[in-house]
Amino acid sequence: MAELHGQLEEHLRSLKLKAMLATYRSFSERAAKSKLSYEEYLALLLEEEVRARTDQTLQKKINQAKFPYVKPLESFDFSFQPDLPEKELLRLSSLEFLETKENLIFLGPPGVGKTHLAVSFGLKACMLKHRVLFVTARDLLDDLMLAVKQGALTGKLMSYSRLSLLVIDELGYVPVTKEQANVFFQLVSMRYEKGAMILTSNYGFEDWGQIFPDPVVASAILDRLVHHAKIFFIRGSSYRLKDKLKKAERRKTA
């Protein structure tokens, strides 16, 4: 028996069937007890291997996406933002917009859930094995400017264009220089009708003139971003503040 186990384990190792290796013994005891057929036992083992690999692939995708936090759409409390069209957002979570290369834009003041929503769509995309990257506008622009300095902008833009979904968070938190606006325009043009993006900003479109120094570039960027986009204005109050207020209230009554 020991020899058989040795052989089995060697095969499982060489085929890199880690989950099966870890579970085959305990499963075989269970199988014997429950009088499973050979096929049922094999199915059980394979299921375990497939599940472990799916988890691994998803985790890898999530790590590569570099989300600031991982929260699913299911944890978004729509009742707190009654102006948001819940049904439409749930429909969008089927991710058709990735295929049609459309953009989602979330606009609103701090704390209303823009990043949470952006992350949760990114997460859904990871689950469907898409290549996703989450980046703040500031980091993105720094990265692009570094590439300009190194004479490697084309390659850099290509690498951004290969993603199925690019999430750009917090556009407008830091002012954009003329040079940055130009490379940002190149990026947006490159992804235009070729790849989906999610953008969040605390500025309404009418104020984008304040984000970008040159109104011509600003409107060229806006034009391409908005042409095929679903736009959501979140006007509600801050969720962060809500928690703070609740805690303060609890302290008061205590």
Which residues lie near ligand ADP (CB under 6 A)?
Answer: 71, 75-77, 80-81, 110-116, 200, 239-240
Which span sits near Mg ion by CB under 5 A: 12-20, 95-103, 113-121, 128-136? 113-121
Q: Are 120 and 78 in contact (CB under 8 A)?
A: no
Give the one entry of Mg ion, ligand ADP, none that residue 16 binds, where binding means its C-beta sits below a cut-off of 5 to 8 angstroms depending on kind.
Answer: none
In the complex, residue closest to Mg ion by CB: 115
> Which residues are CB-neighbours of 28 under 8 A, at least 6 positions away?
41
Residues counted in the chain:
254
Neighbours of 169 (CB within 10 A): 23
Closer by beta carbon to ligand ADP, 77 or else 96: 77
Cα 30 from Cα 38, distance rounded (Å): 12
**136 sits near Mg ion (criterion: CB under 5 A):** no
> Which residues are CB-neighbours of 65 under 8 A, at least 6 positions away?
122, 123, 126, 132, 133, 134, 167
**201 sits near Mg ion (criterion: CB under 5 A):** no
Rounded least distance, CB 90 to ligand ADP, Å: 14
**103 sits near Mg ion (criterion: CB under 5 A):** no
Give the one entry of ligand ADP, Mg ion, none that residue 240 binds, where binding means its C-beta sits below a cut-off of 5 to 8 angstroms depending on kind.
Answer: ligand ADP
Question: If we measure between CA atoms, which residue out of 173, 246, 172, 239 comes closest to residue 209?
Answer: 172
Closer by beta carbon to Mg ion, 111 or else 195: 111
Q: Are 65 and 133 in contact (CB under 8 A)?
A: yes
Give the one entry of ligand ADP, Mg ion, none that residue 17 binds, where binding means its C-beta sits below a cut-off of 5 to 8 angstroms depending on kind.
Answer: none
Cα 137 from Cα 38, distance rounded (Å): 55
In Å, how far from its chain's centre is CA 2? 47
Rounded least distance, CB 237 to ligand ADP, Å: 10
Cα 116 from Cα 37, distance rounded (Å): 47
Rounded least distance, CB 252 to ligand ADP, Å: 22
- Between the alpha carbon of residue 140 and those of residues 135, 167, 187, the distances in Å are 6, 10, 10
Closer by beta carbon to ligand ADP, 23 or else 200: 200
Q: Are 93 and 121 in contact (CB under 8 A)?
A: yes
Question: If we measure between CA atoms, which residue out of 250, 201, 237, 253 comes closest to residue 222?
Answer: 201
Which span sits near Mg ion by CB under 5 A: 91-99, 110-118, 123-131, 140-148? 110-118
Rounded least distance, CB 251 to ligand ADP, Å: 20
Closer by beta carbon to ligand ADP, 114 or else 156: 114
Rounded least distance, CB 137 to ligand ADP, Å: 12
**120 sits near Mg ion (criterion: CB under 5 A):** no
- Interacting residues with Mg ion (CB under 5 A): 115
